[in-house]
Structure 1
Amino acid sequence: MKPDKATDFDLASLDLIDRHPKAVCVLHEKGERKLPVHQHLKGQLTYVEGGIAYVHLVDKTFVIPARHYIWIPKGQIHQLRIRHIATDVRSIYFYSHDDNKDPFYTKMGIYPVNRLLHEMIVYTASFATEAFPGSEEFQFLSSLKNMLPRISKIPLPFVVPTSQNERLRPIIDYISDHISQPLSLADVSKHFNMSERTVSRLFQAELSISFLQYLKQRRIIKGTELMLHTRANLTEIAYETGYQSLSAFSATFQQMMHMRPSEFMANI
């Protein structure tokens, strides 16, 4: 029997999503969860509130903080993981026959949610799990889909490249385990008995990113996680992520996120 409202998400829901290609599917979930690797015939909007969620691809992980959403194009193989019990995740799966009308729908990305989009997404909690063409719910959801390219212009860099390369994987794990330390290319290279040039080439060849840029991304994402899941203040978070001062952390955060960490905290 179909649920009356879009409030429950279980493994059976994965089959429901693509059952009617022209319909929009609305699913809401809360709490820790790890879904199997899967894909959809529909474009997926997943909004996170009150915590953090992760979308894993073969070569990278997208980190979705509270008050942000991720757009996943149709056919993209992925895995959704929610680590925190208080995290609310609201997902809307849209028909894809018109996705070619804007490049937005073909690219994966994480975007902030403004007040209008937030209210529209929350309002869908009262909808039936499936909305069909001709219904008021379908018209509402179609309007939501159509506005996304206009309000979501620049994706945020909440993305961590990953690799199973036997030489690079231990380095990545080491950085993660020692993120609070003042790591440098020289320090890491010496620890693994490699030249700085070799380590730099590994990052460029395997991740298409420099060592320094990777380290910045890991530090800022770790800082975001601490903002969401701890009571630490910004100065403490700066030191926990390897920065020697709050000003250095704030400058890097603003450079990457286009907002100050204090603004980010005020919006979550």
Structure 2
Amino acid sequence: MTAFKPALILESVDEIPESAYIWHWKTEHHFPFHKHNKGQLTYVEGGAAFLYTRDKTYFLPARHYMWVPPGVEHYFQHRYPANYVRTIYFFTDEDDTSDPFYTRTGIYPVNNLLLEMILYTSKWDGNVLPGTKGYRFVKAIKNILPDISEQPLPITLPTTENTRLKPVLKFIQENLAESLTLESVGQEFNYSERTLIRLFRSTMDISFFQYLKLARMIRAMGYLLETDKTISEIAWDTGYNSVSAFSNTFYKLVGKRPSDFQ
């Protein structure tokens, strides 16, 4: 594998527009917000991560991949140890406009076929040029994505750069195990309940309680996949005093019971 610093990837990905660009990275890396002219598939092997865009947070659990369309500003962070981060940056072609899949950011399950194909790309590194066997293989991956990726992971968490609301969201994220209410969070920032309600609705088009519920479920998904915590411990650690209430909320949002998701 070619030795280069992660930051150089940002410069290298778009150097040859007609190529695919492949990299498999084993260590933790940190990118700022950035974008590419190529669509991006990223699979975190043996770990989980969060994908951040300018307006949403996506949880990327094990056995799922993220798709980021060309031109979308983003970065992602590991939250749990990973063996490899495997990324393919795809050339632009007529498929990108003919199928709406390629224009939507999303997190999708990885079936056995796609997993084997992603792992097979480890034999290439850097640019994969048209006319090569590698290019034809990568193009086959790109072509099957819309057919095998019909149901994105249903939970995304809105975010904002609003200077009044941003510290509130940080506080909520850091205290998800606590009994958070409009009153208690408002007191922390000297906001009235009415002000806090208006901030959430006007800034992110979501209620305080909707945000809190989504944040707790995303945290729970991470715990379920990447820790040995029991479901009752996870319920407690995400602010639920009742396992049944936690399980019912999880089912309504994710479409699976916590035990099935785990």
What is the TM-score of this pair, normalised by structure 1? 0.88
Q: Does 1:242 align with 2:227?
A: no
Counterpart residue number, 1:119: 116
Report Cα offsets for 1:66-110 as digits up to 9, x if no partner.
211111111112223234443521111001122101111111111
| Aligned mate of 1:13, from 9, 13, 31 | 9
Percent of pairs with identical residues: 45
Contact 1:42 1:96 (C-alpha < 8 Å) held by counterparts:
yes
Residue 239 of structure 1: how far off its partner (Å): 0.6
Any idea what SS the aligned residue of 2:76 has?
Answer: strand
**CA 10–237 in structure 1, closer or farther in 2 if over 3 Å, else same:** same
| Distance of aligned partners of 1:217 and 1:8 in 2 relative to their CA distance in 1, 3 Å threshold | farther
Q: What is the identity, as a one-letter code, of the residue corresponding to 2:164?
A: R
2:104 aligns to what? 107
How far residue 206 of structure 1 moved from its aligned partner, in angstroms, is: 0.8
Find 1:54's aligned residue among 50, 64, 70: 50
Deviation sequence 1:198-217 (CA, Å, 0-9, x none): 22221111112121211111
Could you tell me which runs of 5 or more consecutive residues in structure 2 were left unpaired when the two chains were aligned. none
Tell me if structure 2 keeps the 8 A contact 1:18–1:42: yes
Residue type of the alignment partner of 1:237: I
| Alignment pair present for 1:32 and 2:25 | no
SS of residue paired to 2:37 = coil
- Indicate conservation of the 8 Å contact 2:24/2:125, yes or no: no
User: What residue in structure 2 maps to residue 260 of structure 1?
Assistant: 257
Q: Supply the distance in 1 between the matched residues of 2:122 and 2:5 (Cα, whole angstroms).
A: 12
- 1:249/1:213 CA distance change after superposition, 3 Å: same
Q: Distance in 1 between matches of 2:127 and 2:190?
A: 56
Give CA-to-partner distance per residue, 1:216-267, whole Å, 9 cap, x none.
11101111222344321111011100112222222222222222222222xx
Over 3 Å counting, the alpha-carbon distance change for 1:92 and 1:194 in structure 2 is same
Pairing partner for 2:88 from 78, 89, 92: 92
Aligned residue among 76, 85, 93 for 2:72: 76
The question of 1:216 aligning with 2:213 is answered: yes
User: How far apart in 2 are the matches of 1:192 and 1:37?
Assistant: 28
The one-letter amino acid paired with 1:258 is G
Specify whether residues 243 and 215 from structure 1 end up closer, same or farther in structure 2 by C-alpha distance, changes over 3 A only. Answer: same
**What does residue range 182-197 of structure 1 map to in structure 2 within 5 Å?**
182-197=179-194
What TM-score, normalized to structure 2?
0.90
Specify the SS of the correspondent of 1:34: coil
In 2 relative to 1, CA 9–136 (structure 1 residues): closer, same or farther, beyond 3 Å?
farther
Tell me: CA distance 1:192–1:129, structure 2 relative to 1, closer, same or farther (3 Å). closer
Residue identity opposite 2:179 in structure 1:
P
The corresponding residue for 2:228 is: 231
Unpaired runs of 5+ residues, structure 1, are: none
Which piece of structure 1 moves more, 248-257 or 209-218?
248-257
AA paired with 2:171?
Y
Secondary structure at 1:38 match in 2:
coil
- The amino acid across from 2:41 in the alignment is L
User: What does residue 161 of structure 2 align with?
Assistant: 164
Q: Following the alignment from structure 1 to structure 2, what is the Cα–Cα distance between the partners of residues 121 and 22?
A: 20
